[in-house]
Structure formats: structure tokens, C-alpha cells
A and B are shown apart, each in its own frame.
Chain A
Amino acid sequence: MIVVISLAGVMLFAAACLVVWRMMTGPSPLDRIVASDVLVGIVIAAVGLYSVLARNSTGLPILLGLSLVGFSGAVGVARLIASPSTVRRRFDRRQARQEEDSDDA
């Protein structure tokens, strides 16, 4: 049994390394957000692995809390993010509106 559990631990470690690599290289902020979402999932799985190894249920509330709030980071950042092209577009639109106003005056 310990062999199977260790195998699962190694797989989770490899998954975490790959996800952190994607988080570092990007290229866009959205990729990093998705990677952080996956990392939270891997941490939840690792806490489950720990509570199997230690044979106690101390880790389960942590697991519940993580699955409750794990998505909020992705939602918040995805809501507030703006790509350079979007910012540029808003700037141009505001500029055009100001020119219209000054023409009227």
C-alpha cells in the first residue's frame, strides 16, 4: 500500500512542478491564473494524501476550506484583468469623446 501512496505522491509532485513552470513562463496573466487554479487542486489532493498516510482526519477541514475559496482568486483576477489592447481601446474611446465635447463647446 505504501508503494501505491508513494507513487501518487511522486505524480502529484511532478504535476506541481509542471504547473509552477507554466505559472512562471506565462505568457499571458490568464495562463498564470489557470495554473494557480490547478495548483490549488493539487494541494487539495496532497492534503488528502497526507490524511491517508497519517490516518487521521485533521486535514479534512483544510481541504474543505481550500475547495471553498480556491476559485475566488481566479474569479477576482479574471474580472479585473485588462490586456494592453483593451486598455488602448478604452483610452482611444475616451480621447474621441473628449474631442467631441471640445468641438461642441
Chain B
Amino acid sequence: MTLDQILDLAGAVVIAFGAFFCLAAAVGLVRFPDVMTRMHAATKPIVFGLILVLIGVTLTLRDPKAFSLLGLAVLLQMLTAPASGHLVSRTAYRDGEWDAEGAVVDELAADSWTPETGPQTTRDAER
């Protein structure tokens, strides 16, 4: 077995692991009960799975240019996933679309408002 074959096989195995993490994210998305838990299941395994897939592509192509492009893609993925996750979770919290009974801690509740009490913060009162 030459070095090329070993690297090809290693790349294929790493890509299979990455695809498995994507599948795990999809299963979590289907099985979890509310937006917050679904988002938790969706973002982290996807980013890790993509890192694995891109390592596999690098191992198979063995090209410096491809490596730099894929490294940039991984970096962008890690930078942008928290941004979308933060905004989606903020909207979910404000619209009350989450399971408050299942939560262990809710630090936002102190300066948040409910439909009964109305706006609590000054910014909301001004609007």
C-alpha cells in the first residue's frame, strides 16, 4: 500500500465521520422538542462535521491551494454559525417559543417582559 492510497483511505474515512455528524444533527433536529434544543442539535455537529469533511477533502486532494481555500471555509463557518445562532435564539426567547419548564437557569427573565406585565425596560416603554 503506497502513501497515496493510505491518504486517500484516511480522507474517505474522515469524510464518512463528517457525514455521520451531519446525520446526527439532522436526527437531533427532528427529535428535539423546541427551537432552542433543535438549534443546539443543529449548529454544533454541523460545524464539527464540516471541519471533518474539509479535512478529508484536503487529505484526498493534497494541494496547497485547496488547503488554503478549505481553511478559509472552516474559519468562515466558525465565525458565522454563532451569529445566526444568536439571532435565532434571541427571537425564539422574545417570542416565548421555548420550553421554560425544561430550563435549568433563565438569566434573562430578570430584565425581560411577559405579555401580562408589559414592557419592563425603558427601551421597550419608549417604543
A4–B30 alpha-carbon span in the complex (Å): 25
Task: Give the residues in chain A near B90, CB-CB below 8 Å.
Answer: 78
Q: Is the CB of B15 within 8 A of A34?
A: no
- Min CB distance A105 to B, Å, is 22
B contact residues around A5 at 8 Å (CB): 12, 15-16
Interface residues in B, total, Cβ within 8 A = 59
Closest to B27 in A: A18
Chain A min CB distance to B78 (Å): 9
| Interchain CB contact (< 8 A) of A64 among B11, B18, B60, B69 | B69
Produce 1/0 per residue, B71-85, CB < 8 A to A. 011101100110110
* Residue pair B42, A34 in contact (C-beta under 8 Å): yes
**Cα–Cα distance between A89 and B117 once the two chains are bound (Å):** 11
> How many chain-A residues does the 8 Å CB contact rule pick out?
52
B49 touches A60 (CB 8 A): no
Asked if residues A34 and B80 are in contact (CB atoms below 8 Å), the reply is no
Which residues from 108 to 126 on chain B have a C-beta closer than 8 Å to any C-beta of chain A? 115, 118-119
Interface code A13-33, partner B: CB below 8 Å = 1, 0 otherwise?
011101101100000101101
In-complex Cβ contact of A49 among B15, B74, B83 (8 A): B15
Residues of chain B from 26 to 75 with CB closer than 8 A to chain A in the complex: 26-27, 29-30, 35, 38-39, 42-43, 46-47, 49-50, 53-54, 56-57, 60-61, 63, 65-66, 69-70, 72-74
> Known interface pairs A7-B16, A51-B61. Does A22 touch B30 (Cβ–Cβ under 8 Å)?
yes
The answer to whether B23 touches A11 (Cβ under 8 A) is yes
Query: In the bound complex, do residue B54 and residue A48 qualify as a contact, i.e. CB atoms below 8 Å apart?
Result: yes
Mask of B85-114 contacts with A, CB within 8 angstroms, 1/0:
001101110111100000000000000000
Of the candidates A9, A11, A14, A35, the one whose C-beta lies within 8 Å of that of B29 is A35
Cross-chain pairs A/B with CB under 8 angstroms, 5 sampled: A67-B76, A67-B80, A81-B91, A93-B118, A93-B127
